[in-house]
């Protein structure tokens, strides 16, 4: 794309494991330096933290930071610290507090923190947020939206959302069971003014995948029949069309 000369220059770049490692470390240090220089100008910022166990069984604390600089909202990776032993709220707070001290950051500039709902984060007496509020009493705390969404999906299993999805999946499986039923369904869609492309969207995978995620089933696992008879499915379809 850029010509033979550019290709030759790229081929001269050393890409050994040690070289790549050194360059990653250099870039990381440069990012940390630039972010800290901005934050030391009394910039207010917000944090998002999460603690998780990696594939090697080690507990990693990860944090992102968001702040305003030159009228732009900047979101940047801040730190990744290994928690050597336990993962209590005190351990998490000490890790973040030590990082603040090392980089001349102050808690008074922290206006908001977003975490999940784990006890180590939200504990009433020794949770990370409780300990943080000792440093900044008027701190705004936020429960991560994605975490709340995941909890909602678990709670909805067996509820109204699950019932609706189950009904839809039963209908789709019933229609897709035989080609003749698909043709009849396409004719039905044509009669009610739905185009063929719109009708085909009914059978797209994401709807089935959503149900799989809720029930924890694999994509290849048969779902939706549940022993329901064809007449039950037809009756449900008829009821929905009449609503």
Give a yes or no: residue 58 inside a domain.
yes
* Model confidence pLDDT, tens digit, residues 18-34: 888 888 889 888 888 88
Residues 170 and 136 occupy one common structural domain: no
Residues 88 and 140 occupy one common structural domain: yes
> Which CATH number does the domain housing residue 50 bear?
3.30.420.40
Residues 195 and 121 occupy one common structural domain: no
Please name which of 235, 239, 205 lies closest in space to residue 223, comparing C-alpha atoms: 205
Give a yes or no: residue 4 inside a domain.
no
**Contact (CB, 8 A) for 92 and 83:** yes
* CA distances, 9 to each of 2, 5, 18, 21, 238 (Å): 11, 6, 20, 21, 68
**Contact (CB, 8 A) for 139 and 113:** yes
- Chain-centroid distance of CA 22 in Å reads 30
Residues 144 and 162 occupy one common structural domain: no
pLDDT for res 229: 47
Residues 215 and 236 occupy one common structural domain: yes
Q: Name the residue range of residue 217's domain.
A: 157-242
Residues 95 and 183 occupy one common structural domain: no
Please name which of 97, 57, 106, 56 lies closest in space to residue 79, comparing C-alpha atoms: 97
Give a yes or no: residue 34 inside a domain.
no
Q: Give the chain's mean pLDDT.
A: 78
* Model confidence pLDDT, tens digit, residues 167-212: 888 888 888 888 888 888 888 888 887 776 666 665 554 444 444 5
| Region for 149 from its dihedrals, namely left if φ exceeds 0, alpha if ψ lies in -120 to 50, beta otherwise | alpha
Residues 118 and 189 occupy one common structural domain: no
Residues 203 and 107 occupy one common structural domain: no
Query: Number of folded domains in the chain?
Result: 2
Give a yes or no: residue 88 inside a domain.
yes
* Model confidence pLDDT, tens digit, residues 47-78: 999 888 888 888 999 999 999 888 889 888 88
What's the pTM value of the predicted model, to 2 decimals?
A: 0.57
Q: How many Cβ atoms are within 10 Å of 40's Cβ, its own excluded? A: 13
Residues 206 and 112 occupy one common structural domain: no
Domain end residue (candidates: 124, 149, 174): 149
Please name which of 82, 111, 76, 121 lies closest in space to residue 98, comparing C-alpha atoms: 82
pLDDT for res 78: 87
Domain end residue (candidates: 102, 118, 149): 149
Residues 135 and 213 occupy one common structural domain: no
């Amino acid at each position: 794309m850029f010509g033979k000369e550019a290709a030759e220059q790229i081929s001269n770049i050393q890409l050994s494991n040690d070289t790549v490692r050194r360059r990653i470390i250099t870039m990381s240090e440069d990012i940390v330096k630039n972010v800290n220089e901005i934050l030391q100008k009394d910039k207010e910022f917000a944090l998002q933290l999460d603690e998780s166990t990696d594939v090697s069984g080690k507990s990693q604390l990860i944090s992102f930071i968001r702040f305003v600089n030159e009228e732009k909202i900047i979101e940047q990776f801040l730190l990744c610290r290994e928690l050597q032993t336990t993962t209590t709220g005190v351990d998490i707070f000490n890790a973040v507090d030590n990082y603040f001290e090392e980089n001349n950051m102050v808690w008074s500039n922290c206006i908001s923190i977003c975490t999940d709902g784990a006890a180590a984060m939200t504990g009433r007496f020794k949770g990370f947020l409780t300990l943080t509020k000792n440093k900044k009493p008027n701190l705004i705390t936020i429960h991560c939206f994605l975490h709340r969404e995941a909890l909602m999906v678990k709670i909805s299993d067996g509820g109204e959302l699950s019932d609706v999805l189950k009904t839809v999946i039963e209908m789709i499986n019933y229609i897709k069971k035989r080609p003749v039923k698909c043709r009849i369904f396409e004719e039905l869609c044509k009669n009610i003014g739905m185009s063929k492309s719109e009708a085909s969207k009914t059978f797209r995978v994401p709807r089935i995948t959503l149900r799989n995620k809720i029930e924890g089933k694999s994509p290849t696992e048969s779902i939706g029949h549940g022993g329901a008879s064809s007449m039950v499915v037809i009756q449900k379809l008829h009821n929905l069309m009449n609503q």
